[in-house]
Structure 1
Amino acid sequence: MGLIERKEELTSLEELLANAVMGRGRIALVGGAVAVGKSTLLRSIAEQAIELGALAVAATGSRVERDLPLGVMRQLIQDAPLVTTVRDRALALLEEGARAVSVMDGEAERQIDAQVVHALCSVLLDLAERYPLVIVVDDVHHADRASLLCLVYLARRVRNARIMLVFGHADRGRYTDAYFQTDLLRQPHCRRIRLAPLSRTGVAALVVARAGVEVTERLADRWYALSGGNPLLAGALADDHEDFVRAAGERPADVVVGEQFGQAVLSCLQRGRSRTALVARGLAILGESEGLDRLLDLPAIDISGELLSLGAAGLLASGRYRHEAVREIVLAGMDVRDRRELHRRAAELVYARGLTPSVIAEHLLNADTVEASWVVPVLEEAARNALRDGHVESAVAYLRRAWSECADETHRSKIMTMLVRAEWRINPAAPEGHLSELAEAMNRGSLRGGDAVVLARALLWHGRFDDARDVLEQLNGAAEAVDQETTAELVVARLWLRATYPPFLNHLRRTTGEWGLANMVSVAVSQRLESTLALAEVLTRGPREGSMSTVERILEDSRLDEMTLDTVENALLALTYAGRCDRAAPWCDLFAVEASSRQAPSRQARLAAIRAEIAIRQGDMPAAEHHARLALDSIPMSSWGVAIGGPLSSLILALTAMGKYDAVREHLDRPVPEAMFQTRYGLHYLHARGRYGLATEYFALALRDFQRCGELMVAWNLDTPGLIPWRADAGEACLRMGETEEARQLIQAHLDLCGPDARRGKGIALRLLAATSEPARRPALLRQATEYLQMAGDKYELARALLDLVEVYDSLGEYRRARTIAGRAQAVARECRAEPMIGALARADGTGTASSPLSGELIGVLSDAERRVAVLAAAGYTNREIAAKLYITISTVEQHLTRTYRKLNISQRADLPLVLEFGDQASI
């Protein structure tokens, strides 16, 4: 790593070396934090000594050899160029001294014989008589005690010898703080040299050769901040940078913290004293310095000193690790048993200090068993908090640990229910393995009330209908002896069954006074009750304005916390099936963004499925495809259970509308659960498959799917056009098969069921009714259909109605009108990317013979207001649509058109010029 920012220290050592060569012995005590560059400096002075004709003899202290008597002195003797007889004598002295130290029993008595010390030092002093001698001992704070005695003895006798003693030691070294350093510094020929960490400029100079000037200038501050000026750490970051560039072939956007840096951090701890490493590990466990003395059972003053050492080594800043990666590296380097024991002690400590449940729970997760009554409640509370904050994976981990620690069977069942709910947010398939265990708990009587409802819902989702039926029947058996909250859960469950799993409704009976009890619980449960009731009402009786206002108010108050997705989902579906897609879409988008930030793939998927259904009803087929694919990609297909019919149906409908029939066949070839056809999701699937059959001219198969869908809807009392317009679709299949009268009856029955606000359903039916009517009546019906569909916001069905209107006008010889409507139909069809319609309109364009256009002079007599109204009328807009578009009354529109007919000398709307003939005004 070179000698960056070490010029002054090197000059000082060179001065001492020059004096030693001249016979004035010198001692240098080179100190500093761990890995601050002491070894590099010592190697440099040793190399310079050789260049000056001196001998360099080196040794290095080691923590693992600290108890090896005379280990450092042995290194020096073996490194020295001694003649054979002298070497043999020195080695014999080492063996004699080591034996003498080994047989001593107390630390205070581990003294080496003074004659051995004198004889060993004489070997080195005699060698200096022949050559100037530089003795370098690195990491002297790790040297054994006997060697230190010898070195102190030698230091007192080198003042008039050609010897330079250079000792490298870490600040707060084990023995240098006792007698060794004190004794050396008392000598007048000893100089103390301390190395400071590198500055920002020094760190930049260290890494510039490997990272380049541009990268160094950009990342120098980050490198300095992460390394704290420690040359070893800074160099390791540069190594990680180089490794990344070699592997990725490009420069990283930020500092890379990789394997080399990790090894450097561990090296800093290994080269320091053992107590420093212990404090570093305790800090990694606890995350802060407060309480470290109690965690490690060390005096607070010792803790403070070790924290200073870690800070000087560049690992800490303001008492905390400079980077989370450093903390993780320290944790990973610990013995597993030691780490778990420290986490156990930390859990007890932070609980006693009253810290938050999440902090305590993190320690409990990583500890061995903690036998205390507070463990399970703390883990449960931490899980609830984590769910509220969107940290679902953490909540799952807490609940799993709570379940394993809990000894009470009933309580374990409640924890398992919470775990099922939490895992469901990530992947509905994840908790499936727990369902059998919960079912057994139900049979034993350990699972009751709302927890049993959760089990029933999960079993139904996964199509385990026999098990779900058993749970529902057991709920009936205990229905008369439940609390208010359980009563509310049962009421919600009954409404939910009606809307989603109708065949199972009769397995959960009503109880006396349940509605009064249900309304006396919390706001969250009350909101879930109201949203589920609104959905059930929309599907069984059609939308009610009061219910729609209620669900919108609920959506305004809802957030995706622990329990509200069902509330949000039911409210969104109620609006969607009620034809309020323009209201539902923004809310759905808002909650989808929230779900994406809360580690909740399952919730993202369910919301995306609803958004796809909304897009289908808005005729936005590209958006429907996008959201349906997002739903299917967010969680595995197998995780959807019977609910797969929702997103899969939307995808099939969108692809069919866009003419992507090959892609539809791939999805229809995928097996779906047979149990799905006993749910609302199965109705959607039958409808989508029938629409594909219509598009590909398998009319009989399509009719069968629509009829099967209708039979189920009637049997389940979900027979509302807002859910699925099965009669209208069956009527279209009959039309395509030539069964006009049967088609008319089906379409009329559909119309009769449409409420006053069912604009989309009416528009769909009127388009088909036109096909069963006399040609002269068809334009009026189709015009009415387009008006309804325009108000409903369904672009796809609007394009279909406009296409039929083009064909009708063309068949009636009104070619100018057909061409005008075709232009508008083309634009709408392109928005939907409905390729079959776009192709049909392209073929229809230019057919027949158009009337001669009116002259520009004649058109010029119109006022601006008259021209704006005429342009829209020529484009096929109704008077109501024109009034809404131009913000005028319908009466004003009629007056403008009357004056326009008179000025242009025409008698009816069909004689209006083509849009393009109006010139610049055609852009309105």
Structure 2
Amino acid sequence: MKLFDELFADTARGSGKITLVSGAVASGKTELLHTFADRCVAGGGILLSATATREDRSVPFGVLRQLLDPVPSAGRLVDALVAPHVSSETLRAVGTLALGLSDEAPLLVAVDDVHHADAPSMDCLLRLVKRIRSTRVMLVLAESTQAWSVHPAFRIELVRQAQFRRIRLAPLTVNGVAEMLGQHLGQAAAWSLAHEAHQATGGNQLLVRALIEDYADVVEFPDHMSRPMGESFRQAVLACLYRSTPETLEVAQGTAVLETTGSPAEVAELLDRDPEAVERAMYALRSAGLVENGRFRHPLIRAAVYDDLTPGRLTELHTRAAQLLRDEAGCVTDIADHLVAAKQVSADWAVAELERAAERALDEDDEESAVRYIEFALSMSVPPRQQASLRMLLVRAEWRSSPETAARHLEALYRAQRDGLLSVEQTAVLVRAAMWHGHVQDAEELIGDMAVARPEATARAHPFLISTRNWLRFSCPQFLPDDARDDAGGDAPAAGAAPAPPGQQDQAVAALSTVLGRGRDEDGGCTRVAEQILQTTSLSDVTLEAVVAALQTLIYAEQLPMAAHWCDVLLAEADARGVVWWQAVLSCSRAEIALRKGELVEAQQHAVRALKLIGVRGWGVAVGLPVGILLSVATAMGDFDSAHRYLKESVPEAMFQTVYGLPYLRARGRYYMATDRLQAALVNFRYCGELMTAWNLDAPPLIPWRSDMAEVYLRLGDHERAQQLAKEQMARSGSRTSRTYGYALRVLAATSGHRARLRILKESVEVLQARGDRLTLTQALSDLSRAHQSLGEFSKARMISRRAGRLAKECRVQQLQAEVAAVPEKPLLIVERGADTWSPAPAAEVLTLSERRVAALASLGYTNREISGKLHITVSTVEQHLTKVFRKLNVKRRTDLPVDLEFQGDGSVR
């Protein structure tokens, strides 16, 4: 303002001045002009002012008439300027009038937005420019920097004048923004917001002022810039654009549509405009503080521009953007995003692009986008077969987050299948969904339709027929077609074959079938196949079945540490990718592993998570898995109140027609047994056995129902029936080293005499310890302690009781903790050579492998001769090992041996 005052002072002394104020839209030109004009009038000057608009360009002398209207003596001139033909004498008279006014007082002629002025008015002003050098006339013009080329001849003539000065208005600096904020919001708020406000506005004064208006009501919370931006800011953005050229507004709209995917060249192609014109418009947007590096400075700026588009224009631009990307083989999801944003699309190719984009989104674990694409495609006019295919894809997308939500499409898909609109592959997927949600009748109909689709009819159908049979065999065997009931594993390759895609699912099923059929994996072939599958398979909707089957193979082959490792790896991947369905299924598998290892707290945590992720209804008929685990954990912990609550959880009746009902039946039976409802327990165990027998799935690794029944008969006093069932269970266990065999031994021991019971229980403990079944091992140790006590071997009883107590505490088995008299064990102290102090050391760190084996058996109460026979070494060797053990561990007798000597799975101990 000081410069303006100096220029006007020179003008008042008879040295006319010409000043051109340039700046971006909303850079403060108008405010500067008005402030200067007010100062001039206050100082005794005369003001002639006008503001040009876009409409004035087509009105001859429109700006000039604005300047002359306030002058009383100019009435005749104004009328003459309206005439069809204006003479040169009239134009000279205008200049003479202005010079005459300057004789009375310094004259300020101010024209705002001169880039919009009409050509005749500009020509008249140019005549005045040439006459004011030695007069008291000051001409001040304000223009937008984006419109320099509107009057090039006039500009050139201005620059030639010696009295010409040009002033460029720059955006506000951070300090300038802080000063504006401080004037209205206070200094504390100003400095906390200045940097964010400058980043959002680029120093545009109009935008800063709008921010101040939006922020006025929330000034007490100056902690986040996004909060105050509201209606005033949006209106200010639009004001900047509508005060710009139409080309600038159009480029802003094109940029808003392309958002982060559009370069200036792509905006030019979208709008079908010359690239240079687009570059000029982008420069104007940058100057106005709206754009930086080709992108809007703030999401709300983009939102203001985008929301201002009419529906028709929005559809037009997005459809054209999608077409351009398709022609250039652009990203399929970008194409789909534009199609969805268009809201109304009639292009024939649109549905195919949306379907492709949905598939890509699922590959990238973006279920939300996939659902959006498919639902939009379904809203269009789509042929019935393609509509059914889209709906199948929608089920897959929604299932990943919520199987319960996906179920809403099943009825429509059942109708589509009846109308012959689904392929065999799609029908196979639909069978699984129908059974999962307990739609038994629909599932049976679908299975029947698949059964008549013979492989010879279409080679492509064969893999899906086989995979569906395999899935039915191990999930819903009751619904297996008659011709497939007796060929267990017949459709799959041998378990020992090398697994290679696409036969991973068949390989996994074959391995699982072998383990369940034999009850063991003595040569390790099934374990190797399962691990190879887990090593080479990436998680996907298609591979999840094979992955779960491989994990089950490891579980039933009693390779629990390996199963836990791979399940943790897969669960970490599922968590990282955020696929809820995979997380739930794998959490349930992890809970089963933990339960079988006796890690009750961990089993509970994983099972609770599995239920929370997709809900009880989302689990469908498979809800028996997580609920059965929670019921088993609560019963084992003695938390019968929680167990009762789990039993009250509503489960679908169809669950008991599937394998998923078996663990639930067993868990319910054991709860009834623990709460002395023995007949109810017997009914559950017997029903479980009847189902498994009827389904040709009587596999002890799955459910050892005979041992469960034997326990009940023991409680009922029928030792003969209990012994018969225990021996049957042992005969069917397939291996003398399996956990089911160890469990059956424990039950059998209870039906035997004192000496035989002691021998059988020792064997049971060895087996259970080797298999890592800590929960059953705790019970067996407790039984073994009582067996020693009944024989008067109190030291051994106390030693075994301590071990049972420790395991019970680790497993959180409260009832057993109360039953066993766990005696606190003193720390083991050994002398470190060269040290002056005693320090405890774990047995595993000081004993050799042979010494640990001998010590472990001795800690279970075995005599030296018995140890000699079991380890195939001489009695003398046993004695020597025990002597070294006692010395190394600083103990004097067997009863002082530590309780942390445990068998390894390979028969060794640690």
TMscore range, shorter length: 0.7 to 0.9
The letter for the 2-side match of 1:836 is Q
Q: Pick closer, same or farther for the CA change 1:677–1:319 going to 2, 3 Å.
A: same
Tell me how far 1:339 sits from its aligned partner: 1.4
Matched with 1:919 is none
* Pick aligned residue for 1:695 from 665, 669, 674: 674
Matched with 2:907 is none
Matched with 1:28 is 19
* Aligned-residue identity in percent: 36
Q: Pick closer, same or farther for the CA change 1:879–1:191 going to 2, 3 Å.
A: farther
Q: Once superposed, what is the RMSD of the aligned Cα atoms?
A: 5.0
Distance in structure 2 (CA, Å) of the matches to 1:424 and 1:558: 21
Matched with 2:316 is 341
| Equivalent residue runs for 1:846-857 within 5 Å | none
Contact 1:690 1:706 in 2 (8 A): yes
Matched with 2:906 is none
Contact 1:240 1:261 in 2 (8 A): yes
Q: Pick closer, same or farther for the CA change 1:243–1:745 going to 2, 3 Å.
A: farther
* Pick aligned residue for 1:532 from 509, 512, 515: 509
Distance in structure 1 (CA, Å) of the matches to 2:121 and 2:114: 10
Contact 1:449 1:482 in 2 (8 A): no
Q: Pick closer, same or farther for the CA change 1:912–1:551 going to 2, 3 Å.
A: closer
1:73-115 deviations in Å (ceiling 9; x for gaps): 898899xxx7xxx68x989998x799x59xxxxxxx9x99999
Tell me how far 1:68 sits from its aligned partner: 9.1
Tell me how far 1:516 sits from its aligned partner: 8.2
Tell me how far 1:342 sits from its aligned partner: 0.6
Q: Pick closer, same or farther for the CA change 1:911–1:233 going to 2, 3 Å.
A: same
Tell me how far 1:641 sits from its aligned partner: 1.7
Distance in structure 2 (CA, Å) of the matches to 1:908 and 1:449: 73
Contact 2:519 2:735 in 1 (8 A): no
Matched with 2:481 is 506
Matched with 1:191 is 165
**SS of equivalent residue, structure 1 residue 29:** strand
* Pick aligned residue for 1:172 from 130, 140, 146: 146
Say whether residues 1:281 and 2:281 are aligned partners: no
The letter for the 1-side match of 2:249 is A
Distance in structure 2 (CA, Å) of the matches to 1:476 and 1:37: 79
Contact 1:392 1:599 in 2 (8 A): no
1:402-437 deviations in Å (ceiling 9; x for gaps): 455574433433333233222222222333232222
Distance in structure 1 (CA, Å) of the matches to 2:607 and 2:18: 78
**SS of equivalent residue, structure 1 residue 354:** coil
1:6-46 deviations in Å (ceiling 9; x for gaps): xxxx5433433443455544343222333445456556645
Tell me how far 1:679 sits from its aligned partner: 0.9
* Pick aligned residue for 2:417 from 442, 455, 458: 442
Contact 1:608 1:627 in 2 (8 A): yes
1:292-328 deviations in Å (ceiling 9; x for gaps): 3332121222112112222333444443445666545
Q: Output the TM-score relative to the length of structure 2.
A: 0.81
Matched with 1:105 is none
Q: How many residues align structurally? A: 871
The letter for the 2-side match of 1:559 is S
Contact 2:451 2:481 in 1 (8 A): no
1:614-633 deviations in Å (ceiling 9; x for gaps): 22122222222222222222
Distance in structure 1 (CA, Å) of the matches to 2:892 and 2:457: 72
Tell me how far 1:634 sits from its aligned partner: 1.6
Distance in structure 1 (CA, Å) of the matches to 2:671 and 2:62: 87
Matched with 2:883 is 899
Say whether residues 1:313 and 2:288 are aligned partners: yes
Distance in structure 1 (CA, Å) of the matches to 2:800 and 2:537: 44
Say whether residues 1:586 and 2:561 are aligned partners: no
Matched with 1:19 is 10
Say whether residues 1:472 and 2:447 are aligned partners: yes
Tell me how far 1:658 sits from its aligned partner: 3.1
1:816-841 deviations in Å (ceiling 9; x for gaps): 44444444444433333333333444
Say whether residues 1:616 and 2:595 are aligned partners: yes
Distance in structure 2 (CA, Å) of the matches to 1:822 and 1:55: 111
The letter for the 1-side match of 2:465 is L
Contact 1:396 1:423 in 2 (8 A): yes
The letter for the 1-side match of 2:611 is L
The letter for the 2-side match of 1:273 is T
Contact 1:139 1:167 in 2 (8 A): yes
Q: Pick closer, same or farther for the CA change 1:47–1:419 going to 2, 3 Å.
A: same
Q: Which of 238-247 and 178-187 deviates more? A: 238-247
Matched with 1:605 is 584
Distance in structure 1 (CA, Å) of the matches to 2:507 and 2:262: 47
Q: Pick closer, same or farther for the CA change 1:486–1:726 going to 2, 3 Å.
A: same
The letter for the 2-side match of 1:281 is Q
| Equivalent residue runs for 1:373-392 within 5 Å | 373-392=348-367
Tell me how far 1:464 sits from its aligned partner: 0.9
Tell me how far 1:135 sits from its aligned partner: 6.3
Distance in structure 2 (CA, Å) of the matches to 1:517 and 1:827: 45
Contact 2:110 2:139 in 1 (8 A): yes
Distance in structure 2 (CA, Å) of the matches to 1:734 and 1:569: 35
Tell me how far 1:494 sits from its aligned partner: 0.5
Say whether residues 1:682 and 2:673 are aligned partners: no
Contact 2:635 2:671 in 1 (8 A): yes
Tell me how far 1:782 sits from its aligned partner: 3.6
Tell me how far 1:663 sits from its aligned partner: 2.9
Matched with 1:920 is none
Contact 1:874 1:914 in 2 (8 A): no
Tell me how far 1:344 sits from its aligned partner: 0.8
1:334-360 deviations in Å (ceiling 9; x for gaps): 223211211111121122222232332
Tell me how far 1:465 sits from its aligned partner: 1.1
* Pick aligned residue for 2:536 from 554, 557, 568: 557
Matched with 1:3 is none
Distance in structure 2 (CA, Å) of the matches to 1:268 and 1:878: 93
Distance in structure 2 (CA, Å) of the matches to 1:224 and 1:888: 85
Distance in structure 2 (CA, Å) of the matches to 1:15 and 1:915: 100
Q: Which of 574-583 and 137-146 deviates more? A: 137-146
Matched with 2:244 is 272
Distance in structure 1 (CA, Å) of the matches to 2:89 and 2:883: 131
**SS of equivalent residue, structure 1 residue 680:** coil
Q: Pick closer, same or farther for the CA change 1:161–1:385 going to 2, 3 Å.
A: same
Matched with 1:799 is 778
* Pick aligned residue for 2:432 from 444, 457, 468: 457
* Pick aligned residue for 1:661 from 623, 633, 640: 640
Distance in structure 1 (CA, Å) of the matches to 2:782 and 2:856: 18
1:476-497 deviations in Å (ceiling 9; x for gaps): 2332553333111001100100
Q: Which of 280-289 and 794-803 deviates more? A: 794-803
Tell me how far 1:891 sits from its aligned partner: 9.2
* Pick aligned residue for 1:487 from 462, 473, 494: 462
1:220-275 deviations in Å (ceiling 9; x for gaps): 5x77666555566678789999988856xx946x9879547666554543442221
| Equivalent residue runs for 1:220-231 within 5 Å | 220=195, 228=202, 230=204
Distance in structure 1 (CA, Å) of the matches to 2:336 and 2:107: 60
1:760-800 deviations in Å (ceiling 9; x for gaps): 22333333333333344444444433333333233333333
| Equivalent residue runs for 1:239-258 within 5 Å | 246=220, 251=223
- Structure 2, unaligned runs of 5 or more: 832-839, 901-909
Contact 1:237 1:256 in 2 (8 A): no
| Equivalent residue runs for 1:696-735 within 5 Å | 696-735=675-714
Matched with 1:4 is none
- Structure 1, unaligned runs of 5 or more: 1-9, 102-108, 917-923
Tell me how far 1:741 sits from its aligned partner: 3.0
Contact 1:659 1:835 in 2 (8 A): yes
Distance in structure 1 (CA, Å) of the matches to 2:736 and 2:234: 67
